[in-house]
Structure 1
Amino acid sequence: MEYGPGARHELAALCNQFGISRPFIITDQGSLNLPFVAELQHALNAAGLACGLYGGIEPNPTDSTIVAGAQAYQAWDADGIIALGGGSGLDGAKAIALIARQKRCELWAFDFDQPVPTGFRAQDFPPVITLPTTAGTGAETESTAMVTDTRRGIKGCVWHPLARPSAVILDPELTRSLPANLTAWTGFDAIIHALEAYFVPTFNPLSDGAALQALDLLWHSIDTAVQQGQDLEARGKMLIGSCLAGVAFLKGLGLVHALSHMVGATYNTHHGLTNAIILPVVLRFNQAEISPRLKPVAQVLDLPDAEFETFYTAICAKLDSLNIPKSLAELGVEHADIDALATKSLGDPARLTNPRDSSLEQLKTLLAHAIDHARD
């Protein structure tokens, strides 16, 4: 892992280290025309590395786009992937890596909910170097990728343990151009990763420590990053916090993500924004289960006590200060879809690690609250 302002200039050396001579940049539609994409492509070409580019990844990557990206990779005769962008760009690139080099299995054979396909070697997957341009998803360190299954109309996770990124570059300069609203949305996504991971009711002190450290960095930096986007110290803390939160949620996530995944798959909403709107509803639902574990969180957030209402009020106040909408209705989500969204959410793996179990009817109620009035 390389960290620091300007760390992206190590990219050519990392390509050489991992035997990449024909790198293929994969990025999302929102990042494709930003200056750093052309800058990195030019730098790689100048280093004698023939660099291709694919920028078709949607805000919520679909399996059809992943297949198209793999075909573009093969047409370039590439031998390595540069995953560049926000969570969608990184997830899209990692999903493409699963099918770009091998032809034994199609994409959904790597469904997280199914047994891991056997018989693969690390060489069956191209090396991937990740460069996040947002501080939110923490998608840069693991092989897991969220992809919309266009046939089933759900978001699913694909992965293989041998397809993990070979290297990560955390360069806060790449996040300085991110607009204030996207900084807030992606930043709160990272905060939710830390909170949900910490509240997963399994014993994992390493993940819990990473979650609390991430929460400390993110909570105390997000306001500056939103209001003073050129502040590299704040941007750096957000980037490190996001990465740590991504490590923490290897422990699991919770109902915020279970619900948000299906809303995003249906309405193509921004993942971080959708999470942020849903969060208060899920916190209230989980109140009894998470309250005994609030003391370390309260200390990190500098709260006067560890009571649930104090914590909940602080979360809602932060959401208000970042201009997060108070209902999914403001994103166009309709009551008519509650039954379908709840049914799909019931099968999401993140639901299984939520600290409180949930029924289909309870999921419907949570969605109704989130659509109408997610917080006071």
Structure 2
Amino acid sequence: MRYRFEFRPYRRRFLRPLTTSHGTWDIRDGIILCLSDETNIGWGEIAPISWFGSETIEQALSFCRQLPTEITEETIFSIPDELPACQFGFESALWEGGSGGRGRGEWGDKGTRGQGGQGGQGDRETRRQGDNKNNSFPPSPPLPFSPSPPLPFSPSPHPHSLTYSGLLPAGEAVLEQWQKLWEQGYRTFKWKIGVYAIASELKIFELLTQALPSRAKLRLDANGGLSYEDANLWLWTCDNIHINNRIRVEIEFLEQPLRVDQFQRMLELSYCYETKIALDESVATLKQLECCFQQGWRDIFVIKPGIVGSPSRLRQFCQQHKIDAVFSSVFETEIGRQAALELAGELSQHNRAVGFGVNHFFEQEKDNWLENLWKF
């Protein structure tokens, strides 16, 4: 089967720069791609994060530009592992069947409009349907691609509904931001640490845990920015937080406390404390995920579908090993998020909140954003 291939680069500016131990991120660059045949159309997204281990946006664009205007499934399934975000984007557009085989899956027919759930959920047909007969550009996807952010509790086509974790900013801004997300329905939060001096962050942490309601869950994300000594101090603090009976907040896990090259130390720490550790940068790609599992990691894996690589191979790995996974955003558009949430709903084993509560970092997209993108 041959498919017509088109793509457009996009650029989105964060409302406020995202600050982590990696530095400051103020613009998200990515690529929207479209595969079509005589009757069907499929959408995909390439959203690299090079400092996490994926290809760069320049490498992704170079790959897309060298492709012909017609490609085959063989082209898609032969994308090298050095281009994991491209693997995800192209396979998502092709959309495999739910069994995880190399099937083409069920695309939507042109000329039909799907109905979906709220906030980036819904059935997989809605990602591919529309009338392209009389237009020079692919149609804007129907709902659920509304500009509204996903609700923390939104319908899912899978046996269990997904809940969302809201991302909080680093530093003192967290003390105000969590309340806004709580009012929107979020009950799980992730706070960026390892950005400022640990003494300052521990003081903020104390204030935050005292302020959060007892039903809240809190994740701490260091992005590999802690020293070994600071990682021990954070884990000890989390283990002992409930000594103060006034604090009932659950610390769900500490995410990526140390650099990727300190895997053995993180493995040792996972045996020494009750607070769980989650790997993120260490398992950014499928190859890294497989490597850490083979080396004995059995705590939590944070999987970013948008950069991990082939969805079919990820599905096979997760179904085989039944890992404790948290699926997380790469600050993609509705197109990539929908594909990622499909995988999260299918592969999540422990009903953990997915890390897709990030839309408050961007301005709301206009309803015709994709149509406008395709005009250029």
Q: Same fold per TM (> 0.5)?
A: no
Instruction: For CA contacts below 8 A with separation 6 or more, give which structure has more relative contact order.
Output: 2
Which structure has the highest strand share of the two? 2
Which structure has the highest helix share of the two? 1
